[in-house]
């Protein structure tokens, strides 16, 4: 089963938008065993698109098209599909009903251009788009498949997951690799490689492939094999061996998210958490509450960005700030301990640091962050040195704080940093 992904949109070609849809689709398709042979990015131009459809249908089994389905004048994918498949647009009553309810729910007027979104090529099968008004469309010709989807990432992902991937598997029956993923936080890929070197060599010699997949959340390790019983068992054993070498860093498997893992841990322990944040400005709280159902364990936070609020709202002693500086072990420990009491929770995570780009000193350069966790039994605090970039410092502080909380909950000892 060979695949070409066609991405439509000037913005991808003039450097305004990064083609992250390709990355996501490429990974999902590879996982079901598809061979993604080409990606073609074209402008919103009729002849360019038509030409790209022709070339793609000539060289692969499946063509997946994203973009160009919006309600405005420069969105012409449907017209090009009609020209390629020699068909015409017809109003689809199911889609029209969905579009109508979409606007009714939002109490917004439906415009003529929105009604046009219910028009689809006569030869196509409609794929329901629960997050938007532009439906996906499935077309076939001489045993080949072309699917057209919106370019909006979450709409495309929803249609791919609910209507496209399974159907392609059924039709083409590709041989999927068997794989398992380990999720880590707080350790770079070269350090992981060094620690697991012996296992990696052995694994590879037995036919287990290992991919290091760095992402903003941490490094994922994907182990994959041809789906034989023997190799599947080998993977399970290697997963355990690798996790044992990286206890503090491995926070989960598969698609696990650190925020969800921490949430599940808190739920199962029936414990509650709050945060007191300075340099992260509420980002740890925002991460914790990004999880559905977090109100069961997350109570609230104080973002004490200014020293006045650290003193007046959190009850940090002015003397502590004066004696140790605001980015210090003593201050985060007071923040965590006081926050825990004031907000009435079992655990409290506190952060104080220098996100940058200004405010660094010789002793505490930009990227220095103290993170503390107060719990029923003790308060711990650790110092980290991240990077020069503000956004990256904030993101790494959030992930590190969540992982530190996870280790405290699970009573895992942290290595000296």
- Interaction residues for a second copy, span 244-273 (CB under 8 A): none
Of the candidates 306, 304, 315, 312, the residue with the CA atom closest to the CA atom of residue 275 = 304
Cβ atoms < 10 Å from Cβ of 284: 28
Binding of a second copy at residue 205 (CB under 8 A)? no
Query: Which residues from 133-172 bind a second copy, rule CB under 8 A?
Result: 152, 154
3-class SS at 371?
A: strand
286 vs 410, beta carbon nearer a second copy: 286
Number of residues binding to a second copy, judged by CB under 8 A:
104
Binding of a second copy at residue 288 (CB under 8 A)? yes
Residues 6+ apart with CB under 8 A from 370: 327, 328, 329, 331, 332, 351, 352, 353, 381, 382, 383, 384
Query: Minimum distance from CB of 303 to a second copy (Å)?
Result: 4
Query: Minimum distance from CB of 323 to a second copy (Å)?
Result: 22
Q: Which stretch binds a second copy (CB under 8 A): 87-95, 119-127, 225-233, 387-395?
A: 387-395
Query: Which residues from 323-382 bind a second copy, rule CB under 8 A?
Result: 342-344, 355-358, 365
**One of 27, 206, 323, 415 touching a second copy (CB under 8 A):** 27
Residues 6+ apart with CB under 8 A from 341: none
Query: Which residues from 33-92 bind a second copy, rule CB under 8 A?
Result: 36-43, 45, 48, 51-52, 55, 59, 70-74
- Cα-based angle 23, 29, 34 (whole degrees, multiple of 5): 130
Tokens coding 78: 């449907």
**One of 1, 8, 25, 69 touching a second copy (CB under 8 A):** 25
Alpha carbons 250 and 223: distance in angstroms, whole number? 15
**One of 94, 97, 113, 237 touching a second copy (CB under 8 A):** 113
H-assigned helices in 71-196: 77-85, 93-105, 112-115, 153-159, 165-172, 189-195
Binding of a second copy at residue 318 (CB under 8 A)? no
Alpha carbons 283 and 289: distance in angstroms, whole number? 10
105 vs 378, beta carbon nearer a second copy: 105
**One of 53, 238, 251, 298 touching a second copy (CB under 8 A):** 298
3-class SS at 382?
A: strand
Q: Which stretch binds a second copy (CB under 8 A): 90-98, 290-298, 373-381, 404-412?
A: 290-298
87 vs 289, beta carbon nearer a second copy: 289
Binding of a second copy at residue 397 (CB under 8 A)? no
**One of 308, 322, 323, 415 touching a second copy (CB under 8 A):** 308
Alpha carbon dihedral 45, 46, 51, 56, in 10-degree steps, equals 80
């Amino acid at each position: 089963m060979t695949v070409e992904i066609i991405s439509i949109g000037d913005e991808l070609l003039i450097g305004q938008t990064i083609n992250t849809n390709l990355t996501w689709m490429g990974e999902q398709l590879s996982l079901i065993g598809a061979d993604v042979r080409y990606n073609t990015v074209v402008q919103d131009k009729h002849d360019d698109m038509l030409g790209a459809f022709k070339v793609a249908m000539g060289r692969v089994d499946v063509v997946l098209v994203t973009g160009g389905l919006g309600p405005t004048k420069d969105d012409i994918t449907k017209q090009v599909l009609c020209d390629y498949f020699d068909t015409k647009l017809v109003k689809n009553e199911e889609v029209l009903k969905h579009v109508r309810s979409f606007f009714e729910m939002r109490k917004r007027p439906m415009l003529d251009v929105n009604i046009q979104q219910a028009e689809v090529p006569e030869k196509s099968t409609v794929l329901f788009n629960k997050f938007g008004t532009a439906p996906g469309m499935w077309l076939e010709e001489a045993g080949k498949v072309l699917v057209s989807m919106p370019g909006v990432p979450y709409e495309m992902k929803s249609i791919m997951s609910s209507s496209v991937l399974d159907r392609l598997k059924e039709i083409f029956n590709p041989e999927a690799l068997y794989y398992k993923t380990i999720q880590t936080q707080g350790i770079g890929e070269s350090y992981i490689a060094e620690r697991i070197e012996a296992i990696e060599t052995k694994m590879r010699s037995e036919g287990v492939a290992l991919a290091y997949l760095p992402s903003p959340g941490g490094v994922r390790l994907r182990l994959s094999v041809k789906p034989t019983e023997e190799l599947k068992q080998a993977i399970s054993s290697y997963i355990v061996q690798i996790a044992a070498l990286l206890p503090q860093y491995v926070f989960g498997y598969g698609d696990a998210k650190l925020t969800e893992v921490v949430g599940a841990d808190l739920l199962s322990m029936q414990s509650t958490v709050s945060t007191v944040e300075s340099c992260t400005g509420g980002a740890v709280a925002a991460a914790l509450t990004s999880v559905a159902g977090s109100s069961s364990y997350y109570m609230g936070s104080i973002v004490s960005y200014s020293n006045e609020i650290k003193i007046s709202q959190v009850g940090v002693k002015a003397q502590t700030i004066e004696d140790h500086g605001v980015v210090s072990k003593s201050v985060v420990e007071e923040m965590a301990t006081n926050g825990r009491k004031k907000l009435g929770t079992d655990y409290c995570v506190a952060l104080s640091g220098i996100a940058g780009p200004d405010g660094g000193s010789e002793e505490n350069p930009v990227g220095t962050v103290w993170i503390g966790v107060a719990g029923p039994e003790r308060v711990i605090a650790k110092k980290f040195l991240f990077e020069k970039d503000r956004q990256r410092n904030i993101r790494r502080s959030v992930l590190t704080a969540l992982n530190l909380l996870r280790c405290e909950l699970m009573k895992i000892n942290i290595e000296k940093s």
